[in-house]
Amino acid sequence: MTPLGVARSTAMFFRERFPATYVLYAVLWSSAATSAARSLAGFGVDAASAGRFAAQTVALLAALIALRLLDDLKDLPGDRAAHPDRPLPSGRASPAEYGVAAGAFGATGLILAFVSAGVVGAATLALVLAYGIALWPIGRAIGHLDRRPLLEMALTYPVQILATIFLLTSTYQRLEPGTANPQVIWLFVFFAGAFLQLEIARKSASAENSAAGDYSRVLGVRGAAALSAAFSVLAVFGAVVLAHPWDSAPVFNVAGWLLPLTLIIPFDSLWNFARGDRDRPSAASAALFLVLLYLCVSLLVLIG
């Protein structure tokens, strides 16, 4: 293993295993959390807060990259049979190179977390990384976890919760003491609904095309569609609460109340899937819905 080999394997990982849309997701996630938290605390955005936002966003992204590298290492035994063309099982990259890259990105994330929110921010992001690493032995201890999607969801989703806590910590750490608003709990409701509707939509299929780890294998086609739809509604409800259109200027008041119209995007796909007109829900529609909601919340809570 050489530094050049690590760099080559890391580049291969970004090219094949970490789409650019993940970067957009991290930026919008950080933006929605930061703007909502500051709005609820009654603070605007200035040049200094913009710099800290950039630091916490890159810290979050670095942590996500590290966890994604570790996921590929964790999945290597199964990928040798199921996905032999991926960098690790194909031998084009080595586990040691992935491990070094994961350590480098994790360390970068912790340094930037310290810059954006001090010791508390770094400690919070360290919890994110620690929990992600702990999922490795947990997954091995639970037999056939990849075939039990609901349990796997319950075990892995806390990573999202801890990462959101890091974003809130980074935001509130630099504000006046006591500025945290209890209504920030709606951020967790909003993020849970937005992310989990996508998670279920991308891992559901008709009975003929369903894989062992699909939610539709456990819940059935209609059950998976109904659960994804329920999470979509939860996301919109959380978005409306965060945008609080009842307190906004008239033009933004209307924009806030129009948020439920975004449900047309996932519902159209889910309805056709439940009726049997599609073999799978449209993951693109679910992702578009998530991106649109994150953008709406980021904008409405700032300018409302």
Judgement on whether residues 9 and 90 belong to the same structural domain of the protein: yes
Instruction: List, for residues 179-223, the tens digit of each pLDDT value.
Output: 666 778 899 999 999 999 999 999 999 888 888 889 999 999 999
Count of structural domains, the chain: 2
Instruction: List, for residues 96-119, the tens digit of each pLDDT value.
Output: 999 999 999 999 999 999 988 889
* 140 three-state secondary structure: helix
State which residues form the domain around 153: 1-179
Bigger pLDDT: 67 or 118? 67
> CATH number for the domain including 99?
1.10.357.140
Separation CA 31–CA 49 (nearest Å): 12
Judgement on whether residues 155 and 13 belong to the same structural domain of the protein: yes
Instruction: List, for residues 17-52, the tens digit of each pLDDT value.
Output: 888 888 999 999 999 998 888 777 666 555 557 778
pLDDT at 21: 87
Judgement on whether residues 199 and 167 belong to the same structural domain of the protein: no
Judgement on whether residues 185 and 226 belong to the same structural domain of the protein: yes
Residue with tokens 């031998």, as numbered in its chain = 91
DSSP state string for 226-256: HHHHHHHHHHHHHHHHHH-GGGS-HHHHHHH
CB neighbour burial string for 165-180, b if at least 16 within 10 angstroms, e if fewer: bbbbbbbbbbeeeeee
Q: Which domain-ending residue is among 152, 179, 206? A: 179
pLDDT at 287: 93
Compute CA distances 204 → 148, 151, 262, 279, 291, whole Å: 13, 15, 21, 9, 20
| Residues in Cβ contact with 274 at an 8 Å cutoff, skipping those fewer than 6 apart | 221, 222, 225, 226
Average pLDDT of 69-85? 85
* Helix orientation angle between 158-172 and 20-41, rounded to the nearest 10 degrees: 50
Judgement on whether residues 115 and 8 belong to the same structural domain of the protein: yes
Name the DSSP class of 209: T
Separation CA 100–CA 95 (nearest Å): 9
Separation CA 146–CA 126 (nearest Å): 26
Percent of the chain scoring above 70 in pLDDT:
92
Q: Which domain-ending residue is among 130, 153, 179? A: 179
Judgement on whether residues 159 and 256 belong to the same structural domain of the protein: no
How far, in whole angstroms, is CA 121 from its chain's centroid? 19
Q: Which domain-ending residue is among 179, 214, 239? A: 179
pLDDT at 301: 77
Indicate the pTM of the whole model. Answer: 0.89
pLDDT at 60: 94
Compute CA distances 194 → 82, 149, 197, 232, whole Å: 29, 18, 6, 6
Judgement on whether residues 11 and 155 belong to the same structural domain of the protein: yes
Judgement on whether residues 141 and 96 belong to the same structural domain of the protein: yes
* 42 three-state secondary structure: coil
Judgement on whether residues 163 and 187 belong to the same structural domain of the protein: no
Phi, psi of 274 (to 5 degrees): -65, -30
Judgement on whether residues 132 and 22 belong to the same structural domain of the protein: yes
Whether the CB-CB separation of 197 and 290 falls below 8 Å is answered with yes
